[in-house]
């Protein structure tokens, strides 16, 4: 469903905007500025616009390529027709980031919602991995 749907992503962080979201470009910029470390974090708000409406997320981008969803206001509440989460996951893979993970506080508030996206391999979650174990759909070495 999300492949045909056009979703526009607009970010607030200047580095994400300057680099068109590419991890390698953002990493190069962040490592070239003080304190010259791989252990950097960028925080950005993203607005996702589609024919369903407007979704909003607060994201954290890490120097190791990890992306965490800290807050989320969906464009549509239905988990099975939600375009926001799959589009974000597609965007992160396309731009060289790791598969996004919801923050534990989001999971605790809407466990079934986030578990659906973990079960269907759209998102990763260390929390769900600990509770339910490795997903059988994943090949060894993919995660």
**pLDDT (0 to 100) of residue 139:** 53
**What pLDDT sits at residue 61?**
98
Q: pLDDT: is 140 or 63 the higher one?
A: 63
Say if CB 84 and CB 75 are below 8 A apart.
yes
- 76 near 66, Cβ under 8 Å? no
pLDDT of residue 5: 77
pTM comes to 0.89
Q: How far apart are CA 87 and CA 50, in angstroms?
A: 10
Model confidence at 137: pLDDT above 80: no
| Range from 18-22, 82-86, 138-142 carrying the lowest mean pLDDT | 138-142
pLDDT tens digits for 27-61? 999 999 887 788 999 999 999 999 889 999 999 99
- pLDDT for the residue numbered 117: 95
Q: What is the structure's pLDDT at 142? A: 53
Distance CA 99, CA 112 (A): 19
The model's pLDDT over 73-115, given as tens digits with 9 standing for 90+, comes to 999 877 788 899 999 999 999 999 999 999 999 999 999 999 9
With 50 as the cut, is the pLDDT of residue 140 above it? Answer: no
3-state DSSP assignment of residue 126: helix
């Amino acid at each position: 469903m999300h492949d045909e749907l056009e979703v526009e992503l607009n970010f607030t962080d200047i580095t994400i905007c300057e680099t068109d979201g590419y991890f390698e470009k953002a990493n190069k910029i962040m490592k070239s500025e003080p304190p010259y470390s791989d252990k950097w974090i960028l925080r950005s708000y993203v607005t996702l616009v589609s024919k369903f409406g407007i979704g909003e997320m607060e994201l954290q981008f890490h120097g190791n390529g990890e992306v965490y969803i800290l807050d989320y206001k969906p464009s549509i509440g239905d988990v099975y027709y939600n375009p926001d989460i799959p589009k974000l996951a597609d965007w992160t893979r396309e731009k060289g980031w790791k598969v996004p993970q919801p923050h534990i506080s989001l999971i605790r508030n809407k466990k079934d919602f986030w578990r659906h996206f973990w079960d269907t391999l759209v998102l990763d979650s260390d929390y769900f991995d600990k509770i339910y174990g490795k997903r059988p759909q994943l090949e060894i070495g993919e995660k």
